[in-house]
């Protein structure tokens, strides 16, 4: 156990509290093989062209990416999906994943379903632009349990809505209490 913590410190440049948090969030890291972790970390760094600090940020935020996921079967297809679907260059892909590392843990099907929801509101080009700028929109919110019911409320109100970034953000992100109180309004 001490050996893996030392490896995390040396390879990722993390210190005590961040290592402890990482181990609490993903306890499997403590029983992982250093060689396997090293290979995954190296692959991810090379694939995304991450600087050491960026790599540390990404992995400390979502250690399960290198601890529990198979790079070839799980991570690589997600990276390919994001690159192709959003037509991302390496810099934009890296920035998007640093803002929302959990994208590498979601299925392509889940992300596609959420993207399609936004496409219906603003069209494909604007939906993709919006998700690139706010990747949490395809990560955090359920279409069936949050987005569609709220959209249905808006439609039933009879209010004509010209969807834009602000209103989509309110639709998706507002807490239930704020949604109940304000809906799409201020």
Question: DSSP for 87-143?
Answer: T--HHHHHHHHHH-GGGGGS-HHHHHHHHHHHHHHH-HHHHHHHHHH-GGGGTS--I
- Tokens for 155, please give them: 């439609």
pLDDT at residue 180 in the model = 87
Stretches in the chain below the pLDDT threshold 50: none
pTM of the model: 0.87
pLDDT in tens, 19-66: 989 888 899 988 899 999 999 999 999 999 999 999 999 999 999 999
CA 20 to chain centre: 22
């Amino acid at each position: 156990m001490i050996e893996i913590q030392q490896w995390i410190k040396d390879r990722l440049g993390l210190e005590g509290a961040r290592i402890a948090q990482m181990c609490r969030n993903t306890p499997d890291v403590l029983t992982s093989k250093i060689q396997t972790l090293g290979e995954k970390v190296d692959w991810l760094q090379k694939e995304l062209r991450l600087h050491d600090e960026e790599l540390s940020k990404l992995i400390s935020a979502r250690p399960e990416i290198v601890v529990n996921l198979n790079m070839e079967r799980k991570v690589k297809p997600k990276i390919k999906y994001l690159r192709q679907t959003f037509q991302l260059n390496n810099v934009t892909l890296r920035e998007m994943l640093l803002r929302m590392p959990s994208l590498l843990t979601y299925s392509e099907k889940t992300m596609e379903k959420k993207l399609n929801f936004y496409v219906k509101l603003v069209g494909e080009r604007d939906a993709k632009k919006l998700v690139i700028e706010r990747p949490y929109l395809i990560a955090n919110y359920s279409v069936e349990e949050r987005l569609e019911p709220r959209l249905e409320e808006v439609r039933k109100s009879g209010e004509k809505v010209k969807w834009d970034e602000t209103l989509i953000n309110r639709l998706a992100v507002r807490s239930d209490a704020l949604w109940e109180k304000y809906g799409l309004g201020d």
